[in-house]
Amino acid sequence: MDLYERRQLRYRHIFITVMVSCIVAVITAGATFIYCAKKGTSNVLPFVGKTPVSTEATSDETINAISQSLKSFRNVIDTYYIGDIEESKLLDGAIKGYVDGLGDEYSEYMTKEEWEEYQTAALGNYVGIGIYMGTDKDGNTIVSAPIKDSPAEKAGIKTEDIIVEVDGENVLGVDSALIATKIKGEANTKVHLKIARGTEYLEFDIIREEIKIYHVETEIKNGNVGYMSLYTFDTGSAEEVQKAIKELESKGAKKFILDLRYNGGGLVDEALKIANLFIPKNKDVLITVDSQENRVVTKTENDNITNAELVVLVNEYSASASEILSGALKDNGRAKIVGTKTFGKGVIQNVFSLFDGSVLKLTVAEYFTPNETKINKEGIVPDIEVELEKVEKEEDFVDTQLNKALEILK
Q: Are 281 and 300 in contact, with CB atoms under 8 Å apart?
A: yes
How many residues are present in the chain? 410
CA 115, 121, 122, 123 dihedral sign is: positive
The CA distance from 155 to 201, in Å, is 15
The CA distance from 37 to 210, in Å, is 52
Give catalytic residues, as residue numbers: 320, 331, 345
HEC sequence for the chain = CCHHHHHHHHHHHHHHHHHHHHCCCCCCCCCCCEEECCCCCEEECCCCCCCCCCCCCCHHHHHHHHHHHHHHHHHHHHHHCCCCCCHHHHHHHHHHHHHHCCCCCCCEEECHHHHHHHHHHHCCEEEECCEEEEECCCCCEEEEEECCCCHHHHHCCCCCCEEEEECCEECCCCCHHHHHHHHCCCCCCEEEEEEEECCEEEEEEEECEEEECCCEEEEEECCCEEEEEECCECCCHHHHHHHHHHHHHHCCCCEEEEECCCCCCECHHHHHHHHHHHCCCCCEEEEEEECCCCEEEEECCCCCCCCCEEEEEECCCCCCHHHHHHHHHHHCCCCEEEECCCCCCCEEEEEEECCCCCEEEEEEEEEECCCCCECCCCCCCCCEECCCCCCCCHHHCCCHHHHHHHHHCC
